Amino acid sequence: MLKLVRIRCFRNVTTSEEETMISQLIQKIQKTKAPICVGLDPMLGYIPNHIVQRAFKDFGETMEGAAEAVWQFNKEIIDNTYDLIPSVKPQIAMYEQFGIEGLKIYARTIEYCQNKGLLVIGDVKRGDIGSTSSAYAVGHIGSVKVGSNVCRGFNTDFITVNPYLGTDGIKPFVNVCNDEDRGLFVLVKTSNPSSGEFQDRLVDGRPLYELVAEKVVEWGEASMDGDYSNVGAVVGATYPEMSKILRKLMPKTYFLVPGYGAQGGTAKDLMHCFNEDGLGAVVNSSRGIIAAYKQEKYAKFGPEHFAEASRQAVIEIGRASCRERV
């Protein structure tokens, strides 16, 4: 049986004197020479059949069986890539589809990645107002008092947040981010095809994504650590000309860049996401890495060696991103 992941509790939580999250991310990027984030977004269709069938044999064709397959898939990919990358980004929806059993694996994956030295960006895209945003923030990047203990929920290092509700919806996240030395990535210009329906609409003659960018800079002013803020932005690789504009508007904001690979973003499209110092962005690839074995160029690995294909994909993405930063 899958065990409920133990929620970490501490009798005393002290103010961290360690480097903030954005500094840790930059250091890991510089160490690995790979501004890459592996998107751990498992669908059963991505998982090789031998793993799925083994999980079903042990736990049945149930939510528990599906969750076990996800865990075994994640673990192999992490074990084969952790030394090459600074970070991972599990998309919580891919775990929520399997109910409570899936959320157990989400929490287990986070803890396993952190034990491997990786920073974890929880792709949760939360956003509400007042106490609700505060509760979301506490659950994902903060801590909560339970009797005489202080406990952490999912304990991710960063999360993605939705700014649609404005400052009321973002400030509670920023407050917890600052209190706990964690990080945020605020949706600004997303990679999906219909993002322009709202994000490109003109407001007083300017596209909405530019106005959101300016608010992100404002929200991040109290979260600076050196040249960059712990409040970052999500900027899709699929709109390179807009990335160029946003880089100028947000020179001290770190970009989380989705849309590379399977969604159509190319290495050349990444160029404007980075600053002249070669920093400023971490590039996410999900299907292009975790389902690499399904691509023709990695077919030689086959389903049995899917994680080795993922490792090779990481190496090649790292090389491509380095070329564009030079």
Which residues belong to the active site? 125
Residue 39: alpha-carbon gap to chain centroid: 7
HEC assignment per residue over the chain: CCCCCCCCEECCCCCCCCCCHHHHHHHHHHHHCCCEEECCCCCHHHCCHHHHHHHHHHHCCCHHHHHHHHHHHHHHHHHHHCCCCCEECCECHHHHCCHHHHHHHHHHHHHHHHHCCCEEEEEEEECCCHHHHHHHHHHHHCEEEECCEEEECCCCCEEEECCCCCHHHHHHHHHHHHHHCCEEEEEEECCCHHHHHHHCCEECCEEHHHHHHHHHHHHHHHHEECCEECEEEEECCCCHHHHHHHHHHCCCCCEEECCECCCCECCHHHHHHCCCCCCCEEEEECHHHHCHHHCHHHHHHCHHHHHHHHHHHHHHHHHHHHHHHC
